[in-house]
Amino acid sequence: MGKKKLSDAFAKVKENSDKAFVPYIMAGDGGLSILEERINLLEKLGATAIELGIPFSDPVADGPTIQAAGIRALKEEVTLSSILLELQKLKGTYNIPIVIMTYLNPIFAYGVKRFAEDCTKAGVDGIIIPDLPLEEEELVSSELEKEEIAFIRLVSITSTEERKTELANKTEGFLYAVTVAGITGTRDSYQNDIGEYLSSLKAISKSPVLAGFGVATPEHVKQLGQYCDGVVVGSKIIDLFQHHDLGGIQKLIQASKCNPVVG
Ligand SMILES: O=P(O)(O)OC[C@@H](O)[C@@H](O)c1c[nH]c2ccccc12
């Protein structure tokens, strides 16, 4: 459970000389009833952990694809409560670690302590809160700590060296290295110094470093994997699910493996 489950998953990736692959899906996109199927599929295809988004009305860091997925989920009237209840129901039907990605507001509305406790009941292993600055972390950190839920920090390409070091020291589970200055969404290429940025984070972080934002092709997965421990892929995974292109999802995941099983 929690931090331990995530660190075990990353240890296994390393043992196999693979890179981690963490797909992001929006909970409730397509209805809550398909969540089980998607989690099972991603686990079967070899994902390391799943980042599960909570739909929110004001998703400031999200690009068009994730925003649209959030709007579809909100139309299904899913809420943080209904998502946690569904996960609780599904507990035991999968083994893959689950990380929740939510803005701060839904956590506040739910109650921080109740949120942390219900995450444990739901088998949630880690949390990402993109709009919670380092300076305000005490609002949630002690409750997460009590439940041994990994509190995953995001570092950005524009963070100062000092801030990068602090985030790398504090993060739990993995360090989420945002690879672009901007919002989520697929892009054609990365800026030239992306390798330096990721390598410098690797040098200061005891936790695995995962690159995210804009990862959209097997080539990106391989390119970024040279400099860090793996990738997070959101918008492209959502696109591929929308197009029922499960082969495309499989190819992306296989690009993170040392010995891929598909060509
Ligand atoms: O969609 P992309 O470009 O592949 O980026 C990952 C991202 O979607 C996912 O991790 C995420 C969705 N919403 C976020 C908000 C902030 C940070 C990260 C996220």
Which pLDDT does position 261 carry in this prediction? 82
Q: What is the pLDDT, as a whole number, of residue 100?
A: 98
Cβ of residue 130 lying under 6 Å from some atom of ligand 1: yes
Flag whether the pTM goes above 0.95. yes
Measuring CA to CA, how many Å separate 128 from each of 15, 31, 81, 174, 233? 26, 22, 17, 10, 14
Q: How far is the CA of 214 from the centre of ligand 1 (A)?
A: 8
Q: Which fold has domain 2-152+229-254?
A: TIM Barrel (3.20.20)
Say what the pLDDT of residue 254 is: 98
In the prediction, which pLDDT does 12 show? 98
- Which member of 8, 18, 43, 51 is catalytic? 51
Indicate whether residue 232 lines ligand 1 (CB < 6 A). Answer: yes
* Ligand 1 contact, 205 CB (< 6 A): no
- Compute, in angstroms, the gap from residue 101 CA to the centroid of ligand 1: 9
What pLDDT is stored for residue 183 in this prediction?
Answer: 83
Amino acid identity of residue 240, one-letter, is: L
**Choice from 56, 62, 233 to test ligand 1 binding pocket (greatest atom count within 8 A of CB):** 62
The response to whether residue 214 sits with its C-beta less than 6 Å from ligand 1 reads yes
**Which one is catalytic: 29, 36, 58, 62?**
62
What is the CB neighbour count within 10 angstroms for residue 174? 29
The helix (run of H) or strand (run of E) holding residue 247 is helix 246-254
Q: Which residues pair with 209 in a beta bridge?
A: 175
Ligand 1 pocket test: pick from 50, 52, 66 the residue with the most ligand atoms within 8 Å of its Cβ: 66
For residue range 177-207, what is the model confidence (pLDDT) as tens digits?
Answer: 999 888 888 777 778 899 999 999 999 999 9
Q: Which residues of the chain have pLDDT under 50?
A: none
CA of 192 to the centre of ligand 1 (A): 21
85-96 pLDDT, tens digit each: 999 999 999 999
State residue 262's pLDDT score.
62
- Is residue 58 among the annotated active site residues? no
The CB of 102 under 6 Å from ligand 1? The reply is no
Element (H, E) at 71: helix 64-75
Dihedral of the alpha carbons of 185, 188, 193, 198, in degrees to the nearest 10: 50
Among 55, 62, 95, 60, smallest CA distance to 78 is for 55
What's the confidence (pLDDT) of residue 263? 52
Nearest residue to 151 via CA among 81, 99, 221:
99
pLDDT value of position 66: 97
Active site residue 172: no
